[in-house]
């Protein structure tokens, strides 16, 4: 048992614990906050996996941006901030059963999966490597992603914007 393993277990525990907390909390805001901890611990895991850049991105986008968006979403739509879970027992059982089955099957496959070798130099100049790859090998997907983001931006605005008539109606 070395330090790395201890760190991993702490992070994993936080991630899973916050996830389960998310499922069991009743207030929506609390749920989102709980998930922030998960995101953060995932960032920590990225660091352990020699992906420092990704860890920062994770913190920026997930723990920061997406969580904020979600909180905005909650605030803009709140009428009651509690999610009363009225899902029927049969369906919960169905979903739970499916998930357990899925988990078991997957678990038995990956339980002792190991490819033996591992990358050793990944943490060296991590950001630079990503940058080089992104602008050389993956330049087309990168550009496409930018288009996607643009479309998402426009789409989000159009969707969230009130209709003209509605606006006119409200203004009266």
Partner 1 sequence: MNPLIWIIPVLPLLSFVLLLLFGRRLKEASAHVGALLTLGSLVLSIVVLLNQWGGEPVKETLSWLTFGETTLSAGYLVNPLNALMLVIVSLVSFLVQVYSGGYMHDDDRFPIFFAYLGLFTFAMLGLVLSPNLLQLYVFWELVGVGSFLLIGYYFYKREARSAAKKAFIMTRIGDVGLFIGMILLFWQVGSFEFDEIFAAVEAGEISEGWITLTAILIFVGAIGKSGQFPLHTWLPDAMEGPTPVSALIHAATMVAAGVYLVAAMFPLFQASEAALTTVAVVGGFTAIFAATIGLAQADIKRVLAYSTVSQLGYMMLALGSSGYVAGVFHLTTHAFFKALLFLAAGSVIHAVHTQNIHEMGGLWKKMKWTAPLFLIGAMAISGVPGLSGFFSKDEILAATYADGRFGLFWIAVIAAFLTAFYMFRLFFLVFTGESRGIQEKVKESPVSMTFPMIVLGILALIGGLINTPFATYLSDFLAQNEALEIHHHETRWWIPVVATGVSLLGILMAWLVYVKKKVTRFSESAPDLHYILLNKYFIDETYDYSFVKGTRALSYFWYYIDRFVVEGLVGLVTGIVGWFSKIGSRFQNGQVQLYSSVAFAGMAILLLVVAWIGGYLT
Partner 2 sequence: MSSVPLSVYLVLALILFCIGLFGALTKRNAVIVLISIELMLNAVNINLVAFAKYGINPGITGQIFSLFTITVAAAEAAVGLAILIALYRNRKTVNVDEMDIMKH
Which chain residues interact with partner 1 by CB under 8 A?
Answer: 91, 94-95, 97-99, 101-102, 104-105, 108-109
Among 156, 167, 168, 169, binds partner 2 (CB under 8 A): 156
Q: Is 73 left (phi over 0), alpha (psi -120 to 50) or beta?
A: alpha
Check residue 152 for interaction with partner 2 (CB under 8 A): yes
- C-alpha distances (whole Å) from 106 to each of 17, 35, 94, 140 are 21, 24, 18, 34
The reply on whether position 61 binds partner 2 by CB under 8 A is yes
Cα distances (angstroms) measured from residue 28 to each of 73, 158, 172: 11, 26, 34
Choosing from 90, 91, 140, 165, the residue that interacts with partner 2 (CB under 8 A) is: 91
Nearer to partner 2, 156 or 171 (CB): 156
- Both tokens of 102, joined, read 């899925």
Residue 124 interacts, among partner 1, partner 2, none and using kind-specific CB cut-offs from 5 to 8 Å, with none
Chosen from partner 2, partner 1, none, partner binding at 85 (C-beta under 5 to 8 Å by type): partner 2
Residue corresponding to tokens 């033996």: 116
Q: Is 26 in the site for partner 2 (CB under 8 A)?
A: no
Cα 81 vs. chain centroid, distance in angstroms? 22
Out of partner 2, partner 1, none, what residue 141 binds, judged by CB under 5 to 8 A for its kind, is partner 2
CA gap 102, 96 in Å, rounded:
10
Residue 101: name its binding partner from partner 1, partner 2, none (Cβ under 5 to 8 Å by kind): partner 1
């Amino acid at each position: 048992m070395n330090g790395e393993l201890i760190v991993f277990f702490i992070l994993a525990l936080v991630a899973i614990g916050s996830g389960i907390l998310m499922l069991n909390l009743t207030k929506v805001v609390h749920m989102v906050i709980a998930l922030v901890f998960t995101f953060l611990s995932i960032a920590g895991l990225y660091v352990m996996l020699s992906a420092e850049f990704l860890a920062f991105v994770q913190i920026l986008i997930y723990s920061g941006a997406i969580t904020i968006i979600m909180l905005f979403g909650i605030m803009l739509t709140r009428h009651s901030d509690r999610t009363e879970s009225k899902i029927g027992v049969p369906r919960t059982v169905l979903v739970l059963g499916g998930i357990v089955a899925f988990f078991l099957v997957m678990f038995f496959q990956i339980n002792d999966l190991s490819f033996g070798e591992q990358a050793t130099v990944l943490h060296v100049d991590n950001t630079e490597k990503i940058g080089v790859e992104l602008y050389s090998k993956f330049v087309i997907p990168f550009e496409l992603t930018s288009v996607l983001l643009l479309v998402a931006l426009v789409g989000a605005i159009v969707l969230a914007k009130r209709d003209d008539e509605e606006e006119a109606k409200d203004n009266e």
